[in-house]
Amino acid sequence: MKLFLHLGIAFAFIFSARQAFAQPNEEAFTKTFLQQLQSAVPSHRFEYVAPLELKDSTSGSTLYLDRLFGYIAANPKDSAAAQQSYVSQLSRAIAEAGKPISKQDVRLAIRNVAKIKSALDAMGPGSKPAYPKNLTGDLVVLPVIDTPSTVRFVSEKDLSLLGLTEDEAVECGMKNLRAIQKPLAEVAKIPPRSGFGIITEEYAASRLIFTSDWKSIEEKVGGNLIAMAPAYDTVIFGDGSTSTAVDALRTFGIQIAKQSQVPLSSTVVRLKGERWEAVE
């Protein structure tokens, strides 16, 4: 799993905006994790701010550990591996900061609108930090820079460095996605009438951008296609001809989201012509 952040502005967006957790050991977890992080990244100075919140005094950034803590709480057996993955990827992200980027690094990513808004609001005034556009429901699409260990928003500064306009960055991201993804028909196994299909891969959620690709899938499931992107790397889909089927897919997706370090959306969408519509 790659780390999601906006380098140079705030590591707060690695796992999105902070949420409250009721577990009593948040403070102990945060202080213990601080020691682990400081040992792994001695070039930066980290400080305790509050439960599930640390400050990188070297860069002036804030790290919110709510998503990491929530994942560990739900998956205690994966605790050590999850923490080590976070620390390792953050170390690589810091090492990669400042390295030159290219047009080949641009992708289009799907994100949750509320989390993006919270992230952008926290950045404060200044040059534009990202370029999100509504996709459907609580989902937005935006260009990102994808490096070996991190994914971050394409900013106004990045557009200048790459010599691209916003529209050109979107086109570039679409082209690069097409280059790295297999055809949908090869990865979308058609489910039985009462079942669900599932795609798990990097940028799985971004497949929702290409609605024309889903036409053949729609026909094969009976002409009433519903889908959900519970995590950035997962899309589920199936027949949405009944409310029972919609509820079942939503329930299945919510369970997937609970197991993900980077949950995305609990919105079920239905294919309508060339666009997706959120299903209430």
How many Å is the maximal CA-CA distance in the chain?
57
Residue 232 and residue 192 share a domain: yes
The residue behind tokens 């919510």 is 254
pLDDT of residue 205: 97
pLDDT of residue 95: 73
Residue 11 and residue 32 share a domain: yes
pLDDT of residue 99: 76
Residue 247 and residue 161 share a domain: no
pLDDT of residue 3: 54
Contacts of 170 (CB under 8 A, 6+ apart): 108, 131, 143
pLDDT of 10-26, one tens digit each?
333 333 333 333 344 89
Six-digit token string for 150: 């991190």
Q: What is the mean pLDDT of residues 89-110?
A: 84
Helices (H) and strands (E) counted in the chain, each on its own, are 9, 13
The residue behind tokens 């690709």 is 213
Of 96, 131, 159, the residue at which a domain comes to its end is 96
Range of the domain at 112: 103-180
Residue 92 and residue 16 share a domain: yes
* C-beta separation of 40 from 83 below 8 A: no
Which secondary-structure segment (H or E) carries 94?
Answer: helix 79-96
pLDDT band at 5 (very low <50, low <70, confident <90, very high): low
What is residue 107's DSSP assignment? Answer: E
How many domains does one find in the chain? 3
Of 160, 180, 200, the residue at which a domain comes to its end is 180
Residue 194 and residue 161 share a domain: no
pLDDT of 42-59, one tens digit each?
988 999 988 888 888 887
Of 55, 80, 96, the residue at which a domain comes to its end is 96
